[in-house]
Structure 1
Amino acid sequence: MDETDTAGGFSGAEGEYQLPHIASTYAALLSLVIVIDDDNYERIKKGIIVEKIHQWLLSLKQPNGSFFMHTNGETDVRAMYCALVIINLLGIKDKKLTENCVEWLVNCQSYEGGFGGDLMDEAHGGYAFCGLSALLFLIDNPKQLYDLIDVDSLISWMVKRQYAMEGGCSGRTNKLVDGCYSTWVGSLSPILEAITGAEELINREKLENYILCCCQDKGQFGGFKDKPTMRVDFYHTNYVSCGLSICNSFHFIDEKIMKEDGLAFSFKAGKLNDNCPLELVDPVFTVPIGTPLRFKKYMERE
């Protein structure tokens, strides 16, 4: 936790002149979400200066509901999603931080059905994930989603991101498939299945085949990559692995958790394939299922 900036958030690296950044703070907190337990809870809670993070986020909040990624930085749906993850994990949700967020988010849904990064932008897989997931922090139950966005249009756009020949997913219309969209587009499927009651919106078997046949490095390095011609890297290894877990699981909403802790924390999962060695993944947070709620409960302790 040495990368926390005096302004409140986490920066991308240790050292002087590092601006606190919403994406870095989001990543830092989710890293702690994965490792937190009774032995290191007190040290983590003392190390996170919650009030300073709250004030820092308020300084990034814009009147139209959006957030700067960092001081005088860009605003986009990604910043909104990361901010809401931080706010809800730390239990600092209030009217000042959420005012106009819903209105700004719903206006980012494009005519195609997906979400763009900002108003009038092209629909994009990563922003669609961020937009839908962000809304789950701002509504009380799944039915409200139908009043805010065109759910059917979003589903139509999402299923078109999976290509019949490759089986993998693309991020935008007429773009090549990319392994990382196994999470960004792949996670939309279990979320929307749980909300709508649909059985399978993305063909899991075809996506799994693309991942294992085209994204897996079978040489000396291992790991996963974007597509056969690319090299492996940590980013794609993480998000392709999450996508592979989603291919082998089903998700549903626990109504008791939804009433007590909110819709975004309420997803549970089960395995479709007992032979899959990967942990079950939370489709909203893209970390092991149950760990965000555990972290939230830790932070609520007196």
Structure 2
Amino acid sequence: MGELQVEKHVKYILAVEKRKDDFESVVMEHLRLNGAYWGLTTLDILGKLDAVDQDEVISWVMQCQHEDGLQNEDGSFSGDMWGEVDTRFSYIAICSLALMRQLDKIDVGNAVKYIVSCKNVDGGFGCTPGAESHAGQIFCCVGALAITGSLHHVDKDLLGWWLCERQVKSGGLNGRPEKLPDVCYSWWVLSSLILIDRVHWIDKEKLAKFILDCQDKERGGISDRPDDAVDVFHTYFGVAGLSLLEYPGLKPIDPAYALPVSVVSKVILGK
């Protein structure tokens, strides 16, 4: 099947973090906080989080905090001051508030109602009501429903079939019908299947091989497909997917919170 190049992936992530001033980093400034999440979570899953200065990271993250936020009247959430609405933001808000034990600060019932309004006849979910089903949005909606104890709104068999049909001959998963496989869907699809108890409907061994084939075995990092350029985004989702597949040596990750189980237990349950 191949071997996960743990040390090389750690070196790659740390090297990316140091390149704050090159052209690529500057044009991707708006995604830097996302990149910190992808990189740090990958290091944690690999058991290498002590490779970074945590005080420095916390200080930088706190500088990114804004005063505005929270919920619209219809139960949805806007991602910024300009008002874009997307079920991604519903998931982020619900997940973040749950981690802070602050879900009572919003109307959870209304938030769930909005998410359910984005469900389609194929069992999937879109970014807004009536929008096309997409594996990324499905994770956001199913994850949010799982966190709020609302998975009874999901048709598990119907959604399960839609999700398992995302697996192609190479073993990889795509996000929509007739699209190419992409390592990131190793997370979006797999986590959703686990949350609805239908993960046994795909070939997990072939998926693991696909992820491992997307590694840069010389310099580290994981790409969307074999032999493409690597990035932190796909490195995280590849490693997270392998964690869900119980690859040896990786910390288990929570399929709803997208964080190591040990973190979720400590933050939410106080263990």
TM-based fold match above 0.5: yes
Looking at structure 2, the residues matched to 128 and 244 of structure 1 have their Cα atoms a distance apart, in angstroms, of 20
Partner of 2:208: 208
Aligned to 2:106: 96
Relative contact order higher in (CA < 8 Å, ≥ 6 apart): 2
**Aligned residue for 2:147?**
137
Post-superposition CA distance 1:188-210 (Å, at most 9, x none) = 122222xxxx5712211010111
Unmatched runs of 5 consecutive residues or more in structure 2:
1-19, 21-29
Give the residue type in structure 2 aligned to 1:126: G
User: Is 1:217 paired with 2:216?
Assistant: yes
SS in 2 for 1:176: coil
Report the Cα offset of residue 297 of structure 1: 4.7
**Residue-by-residue CA offset, 1:210-236 (whole Å, 9 max, x unaligned):** 1122x1112x31221001242011110
Give the residue type in structure 2 aligned to 1:225: S
In structure 1, distance between residues paired with 2:223 and 2:207: 14
CA positional deviation for 1:277: 2.3
Distance 1:173 1:25 in 2: 27
Query: CA separation of 1:114/1:180 partners in 2, compared to 1, >3 Å: closer, same or farther?
Result: same
Gap change, CA 1:156 and 1:138, over 3 Å in 2: same
Spell out the pairing of 1:107-256 with structure 2 (5 A cutoff): 107-139=117-149, 145-146=151-152, 148-163=153-168, 165-193=169-197, 200-213=200-213, 215-218=214-217, 220-247=218-245, 249=246
Question: Retained in 2: the 8 A contact 1:84–1:134?
Answer: yes
In 2: Cα distance, 1:199 partner to 1:134 partner: 18
Q: Quick check: 2:186–2:237 contact (8 Å CA) kept in 1?
A: yes
> Could you tell me the TM-score, scaled by structure 1's length?
0.67
For 1:248-287, what aligned pairs fall within 5 Å after superposition? 249=246, 276-287=248-259
| Cα shift at 1:108 | 1.0
The letter of the residue matching 2:165 is K
CA distance in 1, matches of 2:238, 2:147: 25
Structure 1 residue 102, shift from structure 2 partner:
1.1
1:62 equivalenced with 2:72 (yes/no): yes
Amino acid across the alignment from 1:186? L
Deviation at 1:111, TM superposition (A): 2.1
- Classify the secondary structure of the residue corresponding to 1:186: helix
Give the distance between the partners of 1:25 and 1:170, measured in 2 at CA.
Answer: 22
Letter in 2 for 1:178: D
**Once the two structures are aligned, what percentage of the paired residues are identical?**
34
Specify every segment of 5 or more residues in structure 1 that has no aligned partner in the other structure, as ranges. 1-12, 14-20, 250-272
Q: In 2, are the aligned partners of 1:57 and 1:83 still within 8 Å (CA)?
A: no
* Distance in 2 between residues matched to 1:64 and 1:209, nearest whole Å: 43
Find the aligned partners of 1:279 and 1:290 in 2 and give their Cα distance.
8
Query: In structure 1, how many angstroms separate the alpha carbons of the residues matched to 2:135 and 2:163?
Result: 8
Which one-letter code corresponds to 1:153 in the other structure?
Answer: L
Contact in 2 for aligned 1:69/1:75 (Cα 8 Å): yes
Q: Distance in 2 between matches of 1:283 and 1:26?
A: 19
Cα distance, 1:290 vs structure 2: 2.5
Tell whether the 8 Å contact from 2:91 to 2:143 is kept in structure 1 after alignment.
Answer: yes
User: What TM-score results when the alignment is normalised by the length of structure 2?
Assistant: 0.74
Letter in 1 for 2:185: Y
AA partner of residue 117 (structure 2): N
More helix by share: 2
CA distance 1:127–1:209, shift in 2 (3 Å):
same
Q: Output the aligned Cα RMSD.
A: 3.4
- In 1, distance between residues paired with 2:192 and 2:36? 20
State the Cα distance separating 1:26 from its structure 2 match.
11
Question: Would you say the 8 A contact 1:26–1:82 is kept in 2?
Answer: no
Q: Give the aligned residue type for 1:290.
A: S
